[in-house]
Homo-oligomer: A and B are copies of this chain.
Amino acid sequence: MNKLKAALTNTADSVEVMLDTLLTPDSSTENRIYQAMRYTTLGGGKRLRPFLVKQSADLFGVREINALRTGAALELIHCYSLVHDDLPAMDDDDLRRGKATLHKAFDEATAILAGDALLTLAFEVIAQPETHQDSEIRIELVNMLARASGVRGMVGGQMEDLQAETKELNLEDITHLQRLKTGALIEYGCEAGAILGKASKEEREALVAYANDLGLAFQIADDLLDIEGNVEETGKAVRKDNHAGKATFVSLLGVDGARKEAESIANRAVGHLDTFDDRANLLRATAEFVIARRN
């Protein structure tokens, strides 16, 4: 676990530098929108998704800069989704990563535009030659990122989540919703590493299957944190889902049942990595980490 934490910190540091560079305005551009984009993107977060890109890419000896740029683009998408999700018309949250949400710190219109700008920037970053010299690889990264983020991925999951407030979801519904809302970007992290590394079909499928389970275990742990965590550790409001009366893995399985399910799914995730040697050990440790985390 210590090795994993060191590696997570390393990647988080490198991603921070990359994001800082990507979010530096040239002199002619409006400053306030950059301030907003930087406020919400820099200085926080586990950077789990870029870490998954990096670790998956490392299996195939991909150049670090390629993995970092792809991971940073994915993090831009993740950050935009949080900004829009926190808006008054959506989850109406005041606190994120221990500080005021973007629309609270700036204003609602700026938050909408900054989210749009982060989303758009992600595609620009991927499209640039620095991300990979081979345009075939870059265009596949764009295509898969758009699928993972859009209506058949994350945004589709957010829409299902909105509608969950008015209808009762069972375990199958929740699993489907979360596979889209949280799972799609986590899956993209591992798949992007495989694309960058020109992995074989089998290797790519193994990584996607791993990420699929990892995302689910991550989300069950999130539901447990919503019940058991506190605002100091998580840096965001807790017991929101409970108050909203939304079905979650915990409300459907109970605390103990949910914890057992998370462990079982995390084990299954690790099983998909059998095709890889010791170089996948940090990915294996990540599966333990996501269910043990406190934020």
Give residues in A with beta carbon < 8 Å to B: 25-26, 29-30, 32-34, 37, 80, 84, 87, 89-90, 107-110, 112-113, 115-117, 119-121, 123-124, 126-128, 135-136, 138-140, 142-143, 145-147, 149-152, 155-156, 158-160, 162-163
Q: Which residues of B contact A116 (CB under 8 A)?
A: 80, 84, 115-116, 119, 155
* A90/B112 in contact, CB under 8 A: yes
Q: Which residues of B contact A150 (CB under 8 A)?
A: 117, 120-121, 124
Given contacts A33-B151, A89-B108, A142-B142, 10 further A-B contacts (CB under 8 A): A30-B159, A30-B163, A84-B116, A113-B155, A113-B158, A116-B119, A117-B155, A123-B123, A127-B140, A138-B139
Q: Which residues of B contact A142 (CB under 8 A)?
A: 123-124, 126-127, 139, 142
> Which of B80, B89, B139, B158 contacts A135, CB < 8 Å?
B139
* A112/B113 in contact, CB under 8 A: no
* A128/B109 in contact, CB under 8 A: no
* B146/A33 in contact, CB under 8 A: no
User: Quick one: given A90-B112, A143-B128, are A156 and B119 in contact (CB under 8 Å)?
Assistant: no
Q: Which residues of B contact A128 (CB under 8 A)?
A: 143
* B119/A120 in contact, CB under 8 A: yes
**Whole-angstrom CA separation of A163 from B106 in the bound complex:** 13
User: Quick one: given A139-B135, A142-B139, are A110 and B162 in contact (CB under 8 Å)?
Assistant: yes
**Whole-angstrom CA separation of A159 from B124 in the bound complex:** 19
Residue in B closest to A152 when the chains form the complex, CB atoms: B29
**Whole-angstrom CA separation of A238 from B155 in the bound complex:** 33
> Which of B25, B37, B139, B160 contacts A30, CB < 8 Å?
B160
**Whole-angstrom CA separation of A32 from B25 in the bound complex:** 37
Q: Nearest chain B CB to A149's CB is how many angstroms away?
A: 5
User: Quick one: given A112-B89, A135-B135, are A32 and B151 in contact (CB under 8 Å)?
Assistant: no
* A37/B163 in contact, CB under 8 A: no
Query: Could you write out 20 A-B pairs with CB less than 8 Å apart?
Result: A26-B152, A29-B152, A29-B156, A30-B163, A89-B107, A90-B109, A90-B112, A113-B159, A113-B162, A116-B116, A116-B155, A117-B150, A121-B146, A121-B150, A121-B151, A124-B142, A124-B147, A126-B142, A127-B142, A142-B142
* A33/B109 in contact, CB under 8 A: no
Q: Which residues of B contact A112 (CB under 8 A)?
A: 84, 87, 89-90, 112
Q: Nearest chain B CB to A179's CB is how many angstroms away?
A: 11
**Whole-angstrom CA separation of A165 from B198 in the bound complex:** 50
Q: Nearest chain B CB to A158's CB is how many angstroms away?
A: 6
Q: Which residues of B contact A143 (CB under 8 A)?
A: 124, 127-128
Q: Nearest chain B CB to A198's CB is how many angstroms away?
A: 14
